[in-house]
């Protein structure tokens, strides 16, 4: 088989949560660039206009949908809507996430629930709904979760976030083992230090930037486009014998500690 064919997503149908900006937008655009039609979600569907414009420019079908992943019933409804609108569902990318930096002694129940419900519970129920759609259609599928460096290392003042992302890594492995018999692969990527709207608070500190760059072997922060190849790989036939794994996209950070 031609190598290019292995990465070709023509005819595939994908759903990407949290795709209005940043990494989610880059992922949706990458999947479309590889040939997939894409449904994208955000809490405010109007915030998806730029993502839609980019995907239309690639000649692919785009379906914008409103979703707050903390709403379990809405997760099932939106996955079903995506499946109907795209006439199938082959790929789910659980990208929607939330982070708020706060000393652990000041974390209250509301913040804990907001972070964990978005990053872990929402990802599970979107995955569950997607697996039901895929298995009922009798088709193979790929689910990709967005883990984090905090899935592996402790970061002060990010305990709820790190707890949710560590849980997401465990969930990835468990679902991969359970759903392999259904033909559904479950993997993850762990982006390193990327400057996005959610992480911008760190990058406003020049001393933090200098200290962090010294820990990254490639001596640069991630560019949004750096996630594209890993996601297309995990969504495509190129990774047909890969399940239950997480690929760090981190410039060598984890390898060096």
pLDDT grade for 195, boundaries at 50, 70 and 90: confident
**Distance, CA of 257 to CA of 253 (rounded, Å):** 7
pLDDT grade for 149, boundaries at 50, 70 and 90: very high
Under DSSP, the state recorded for 44 is S
The pLDDT, as a whole number, for residue 197 is 78
Enzyme catalytic residues: 161
Which of the two residues, 188 and 139, has the higher pLDDT score? 188
Task: Return the exposure string of 139-168: e unless at least 16 CB atoms fall within 10 Å of the residue's CB, then b.
Answer: eebbbbbbbbbbbbeeeeebbbbbbbbbbb
Residues contacting residue 150 through CB under 8 Å, at least 6 positions apart: 158, 161, 162, 165, 166
- Are 79 and 130 spatial neighbours (Cβ–Cβ below 8 Å)? yes
CATH code where residue 128 lies = 3.40.50.720
The pLDDT, as a whole number, for residue 138 is 86
Between helices 122-136 and 72-86, what is the axis angle to 10°? 40
Phi/psi of residue 14, each to 5°? -125, 150
**Distance, CA of 34 to CA of 241 (rounded, Å):** 20
Mean pLDDT of the chain: 96
Paired strand residues for 5 = none
Q: Give which of 85, 94, 80 is closest to 64, Cα–Cα.
A: 85
C-beta atoms surrounding 181 within 10 Å = 8
Cα 60 to the center of its chain, rounded Å: 20
Q: Does residue 4 register a pLDDT over 80?
A: no
pLDDT grade for 202, boundaries at 50, 70 and 90: confident
The pLDDT, as a whole number, for residue 127 is 98
How many domains in the chain?
1
Torsion sign across C-alpha atoms 137, 142, 148, 152: positive
Whether the full predicted model's pTM is greater than 0.75, yes or no, is yes
What is the domain range of residue 10?
Answer: 3-256
SS3 content of the chain, % helix, strand, coil (to 5): 50, 15, 35
**Distance, CA of 15 to CA of 51 (rounded, Å):** 13
The pLDDT, as a whole number, for residue 132 is 97
Lowest mean pLDDT among 1-5, 16-20, 149-153, 251-255: 1-5
Q: Give which of 11, 229, 30, 6 is closest to 139, Cα–Cα.
A: 11
Q: Does residue 18 register a pLDDT over 70?
A: yes
Could you report the per-residue pLDDT of 101-136, keeping only the tens digit for each?
Answer: 999 999 999 999 999 999 999 999 999 999 999 999
Kindly state the average pLDDT of the residues 237-254: 97
The pLDDT, as a whole number, for residue 1 is 58
pLDDT grade for 68, boundaries at 50, 70 and 90: very high
Q: Does residue 201 register a pLDDT over 90?
A: no
Kindly state the average pLDDT of the residues 196-211: 86
């Amino acid at each position: 088989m031609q190598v290019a064919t292995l990465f070709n997503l023509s005819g595939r149908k994908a759903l990407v949560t949290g795709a209005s900006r940043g990494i989610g937008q880059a992922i949706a655009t990458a999947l479309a660039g590889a040939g997939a039609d894409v449904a994208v979600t955000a809490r405010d569907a109007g915030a998806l206009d730029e993502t839609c414009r980019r995907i239309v420019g690639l000649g692919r079908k785009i379906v914008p949908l409103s979703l707050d992943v903390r709403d379990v019933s809405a997760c099932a409804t939106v996955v079903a809507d995506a499946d109907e609108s795209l006439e199938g569902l082959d790929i789910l990318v659980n990208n929607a996430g939330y982070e708020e930096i706060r000393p652990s002694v000041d974390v209250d129940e509301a913040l804990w629930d907001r972070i964990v419900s978005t990053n872990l519970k929402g990802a599970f129920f979107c995955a569950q709904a997607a697996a039901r759609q895929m298995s009922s259609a009798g088709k193979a599928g790929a689910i990709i979760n967005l883990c984090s460096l905090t899935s592996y290392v402790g970061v002060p003042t990010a305990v709820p976030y790190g707890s949710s992302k560590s849980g997401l890594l465990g969930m990835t492995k468990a679902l991969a083992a359970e759903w392999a018999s259904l033909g559904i692969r479950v993997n993850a990527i762990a982006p390193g230090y990327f400057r996005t709207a959610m992480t911008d608070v760190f990058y406003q500190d020049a001393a933090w930037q200098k200290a962090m760059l010294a820990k990254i072997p490639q001596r640069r922060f991630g560019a949004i486009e750096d996630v594209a190849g890993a996601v297309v790989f995990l969504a495509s036939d190129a990774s047909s014998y890969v399940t239950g794994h997480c690929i760090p996209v981190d410039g060598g950070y984890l390898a060096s500690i």
